């Protein structure tokens, strides 16, 4: 099972170029979370200190506004969410609800600390990768905001994604 999780992580940009031994360090300190369809991994404004890598299932990223919930994006197995928490330690910026029964690997600060203690270069690499992913999502959001201000609808609704 560990090899399956390593292969899943290796396909993701956030874990790009990380060696297998480094991924093992992260996984040794990670936990597997199972969430039933309709339940939440977390809700907007919850305390945040971990990210999730979706192994199975599908989730909706939801933002509340004026008492209503709006789905920003759907994620499937192989996607990750919550990575901003590993950088800024602020409350969750959105909710993530399981649309199907889900299993995810939760990676928290303990694994990152152990990776830092073991191999600072690999730690720096994952931090840079997370930063790149957050920047990619910010650029997409900036583009949508610009288009909205110019009274244009996005050509591709798939570009909207605000990291939770």
pLDDT at 147 over 80: yes
Token pair belonging to 119: 């191999």
Q: Supply the pTM of this predicted model.
A: 0.84
80: confidence class by pLDDT, cuts 50, 70, 90: very high
- Per residue in 17-26, pLDDT (tens digit) is 999 999 999 9
Q: To which H or E segment does residue 35 belong?
A: strand 31-35
Q: Return the number of other C-beta atoms located less than 10 Å from residue 26's C-beta.
A: 24
8: confidence class by pLDDT, cuts 50, 70, 90: confident
pLDDT at 62 over 50: yes
For residue 133, what are the CA distances in angstroms to 69, 72, 81, 159? Answer: 25, 17, 10, 13
What string of DSSP letters covers 107-147? E-HHHHHHHHHH-HHHHHHHHHHHHHHHHHHHHHHHHHHHH
Distance, in Å, from the CA atom of 104 to the CA atom of 6, rounded to the nearest integer, reads 13
pLDDT at 29 over 90: yes
């Amino acid at each position: 099972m560990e090899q399956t999780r390593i292969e899943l992580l290796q396909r993701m940009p956030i874990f790009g170029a990380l060696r297998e031994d480094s991924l093992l360090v992260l996984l040794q300190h990670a936990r597997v979370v199972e969430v039933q369809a309709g339940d939440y991994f977390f809700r907007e404004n919850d305390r945040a200190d971990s990210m999730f890598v979706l192994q199975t299932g599908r989730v909706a990223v939801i933002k509340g506004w004026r008492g209503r919930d709006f789905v920003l994006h759907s994620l499937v197995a192989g996607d990750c969410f919550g990575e901003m928490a590993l950088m800024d330690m602020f409350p969750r910026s959105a909710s993530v609800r399981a649309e199907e029964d889900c299993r995810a690997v939760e990676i928290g600060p303990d694994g990152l600390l152990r990776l830092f203690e073991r191999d600072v270069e690999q730690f720096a690499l994952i931090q840079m990768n997370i930063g790149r992913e957050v920047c990619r999502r910010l650029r997409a959001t900036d583009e949508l905001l610009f288009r909205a201000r110019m009274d244009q609808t996005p050509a591709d609704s798939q570009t909207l994604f605000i990291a939770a």
